[in-house]
A and B are shown apart, each in its own frame.
Chain A
């Protein structure tokens, strides 16, 4: 079946450093991807999305990179802050059967002072 996986369950960084969270997907036909942030006890919060006609998209302190050749995307967070501590999910849109987003299990980002 289709799957979306994150490379590391936990990532620890120092405050002020840049963070990179990686994600791999299995369906080469997926052409829409979303990154979500989930803080403890809250629902997933949209961070940034990217479509397959792009390989890079930037937001405020965040950049998403998409490599369709190896079916990989990454989320880069610049100057990581304590408020960035959360679980980060990538999701890939899959149009087979019924249209749906497939979510990865998440990477926990821990920011240390």
Chain B
């Protein structure tokens, strides 16, 4: 998985609680991404980062925030989890933005009850 770890790998939480997912990379890649994967929708971009403290929104960013204080770590936070955020979340990295291969982590399976 290209030196990418995600934690936790599985989480069950209740509606209204905050949740933070962590992505850690050992490749020193500049770009990091958070995607969600749902049946029938493929992978959809939530947020991405193009450097420490530099982040931007993707196509499904509502209800999510991110932070990147170190090159190797990218955090995804659900401030108040909802059932619609039940999904599998993948982190990806790339050496550069644009037309560069993105490599994916193993995923976090989140269930919001």
Binding site for B on A (CB under 8 A): 4, 31-32, 34, 36, 41-46, 49, 51, 89, 91, 93, 95, 98-101, 103-106
Cα A65 to Cα B90 with chains together (Å) = 27
Known contacts A42-B106, A89-B43, A105-B41; A95/B101 CB under 8 A: no
Q: Are A93 and B99 in contact (CB under 8 A)?
A: yes
How many residues in B have their beta carbons less than 8 Å from beta carbons of A? 23
- Best-surrounded residue of B4, B97, B98, B101 (most CB of chain A within 10 A): B101
Q: Are A100 and B59 in contact (CB under 8 A)?
A: yes
Q: Are B40 and A105 in contact (CB under 8 A)?
A: yes
Q: Can you list, as one digit per residue, whether each of B12-42 has a CB less than 8 Å from chain A (1) or not (0)?
A: 0000000000000000000000000000111
Q: Are A49 and B101 in contact (CB under 8 A)?
A: yes
Known contacts A93-B98, A98-B56, A99-B98; A46/B103 CB under 8 A: yes
Q: Whole-angstrom distance from the CB of B30 to the nearest CB of chain A?
A: 13
